[in-house]
């Protein structure tokens, strides 16, 4: 069986998107392909990736894999040398107050969200990626306001912010010229993961999800996140961290 990584185009026009099968990752992949970038889309669920391939065509290469696997990160970067990494993969948090969590449910997002950003960030610095490359990590607006019903979700996403800063400093120190950016999207019912959060907080407040979601207006869409990723990746003058909501981008710091 042919190696899907061998089928890709010029690495100068190649991006890796983790969590590419649904939600933000799917929209980001679509925006990049539309802009002429070849996307390696990584997710654990082959069915989702094949559906994206059917939609986007040959500009999208599906790679069914665990994005937390350091070997996957190292091999993909070493063999294909992408110029853009979009680290979007994440687990749906277990929605329950802290005293109803177990350590396993509380730490779920550390083992997926944070771990995969660590693996790819490390691989990007060790390879290293080519000068001028960009790494965009998707964190969460929960970092700014907390998330009491999702266990360690907010802290796991905060660690992604720290990893960006650490990596940017190492890139500067070694003269690698790799830009590291972080986006913090607000809670949105427009993705499957966001809908889990909306349902949980709606139940806590004793309202239906639509009523709770009305308080999130304007609703952030996956297409807005995708546009932010493509715009920021092309803008060497961008600041390193942004909050993004339905009302647009706001730089942090």
Provide DSSP, 139-151.
--THHHH--TTBT
> What is the pTM assigned to this prediction?
0.93
Average pLDDT (195-218) is 94
Average pLDDT (195-208) is 93
Average pLDDT (42-55) is 97
Average pLDDT (38-47) is 97
Query: What is the dihedral angle through the alpha carbons of 75, 76, 78, 79, rounded to the nearest 10 degrees?
Result: 100
**Model pLDDT, residue 253:** 77
Q: Tell me the average pLDDT of the chain.
A: 94
Instruction: Read off the pLDDT of residues 57-69 as tens digits, 9 standing for 90 and up.
Output: 999 999 999 999 9
**Is pLDDT above 80 for 3?**
no
Average pLDDT (129-156) is 96
**Is pLDDT above 80 for 1?**
no
Q: Both tokens of residue 102?
A: 């177990």
**Is pLDDT above 60 for 12?**
no
**Model pLDDT, residue 234:** 94
Interior/surface letters 133-169, b for 16+ CB within 10 angstroms, e for the rest: bbbbbbbbbbbeeebebbbbbbbbbbbbbebbeebbe
Instruction: Read off the pLDDT of residues 93-112 as tens digits, 9 standing for 90 and up.
Output: 999 999 999 999 999 999 99
Does an H or E element contain 138, and which?
strand 134-138
Contact 154, 187 (CB under 8 A): no
Contact 107, 150 (CB under 8 A): no
Residue 5 pLDDT class (50, 70, 90 cuts): very low
- Pairing label, strands 248-251, 241-245: antiparallel
**Model pLDDT, residue 8:** 39
């Amino acid at each position: 069986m042919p190696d899907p990584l061998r089928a890709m185009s010029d690495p100068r026009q190649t991006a890796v998107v983790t969590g590419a099968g649904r939600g933000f990752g799917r929209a980001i992949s679509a925006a990049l392909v539309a802009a002429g970038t070849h996307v390696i889309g990584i997710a654990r669920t082959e069915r989702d990736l094949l559906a994206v391939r059917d939609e986007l065509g040959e500009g999208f290469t599906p790679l069914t894999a665990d994005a937390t696997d350091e070997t996957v990160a190292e091999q993909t970067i070493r063999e294909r040398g992408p110029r853009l990494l979009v680290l979007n993969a994440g687990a749906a948090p277990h929605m329950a107050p802290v005293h109803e969590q177990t350590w396993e449910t509380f730490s779920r997002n550390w083992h997926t969200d944070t771990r995969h950003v660590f693996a790819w960030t490390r691989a990007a610095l060790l390879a290293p990626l080519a000068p001028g490359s960009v790494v965009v990590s998707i964190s969460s607006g929960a970092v700014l306001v907390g998330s009491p019903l999702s266990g360690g979700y907010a802290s796991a996403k905060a660690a992604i912010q720290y990893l960006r800063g650490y990596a940017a400093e190492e890139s500067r120190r070694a003269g690698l010229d790799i830009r590291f950016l972080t986006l913090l999207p607000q809670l949105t019912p427009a993705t499957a993961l966001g809908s889990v959060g909306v349902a949980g907080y709606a139940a806590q407040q004793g309202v239906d999800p639509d009523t709770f979601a009305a308080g999130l207006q304007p609703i952030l869409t996956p297409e807005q996140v995708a546009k932010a990723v493509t715009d920021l990746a092309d803008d060497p003058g961008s600041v390193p961290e942004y909050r993004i909501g339905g009302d647009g981008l706001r730089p942090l710091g």
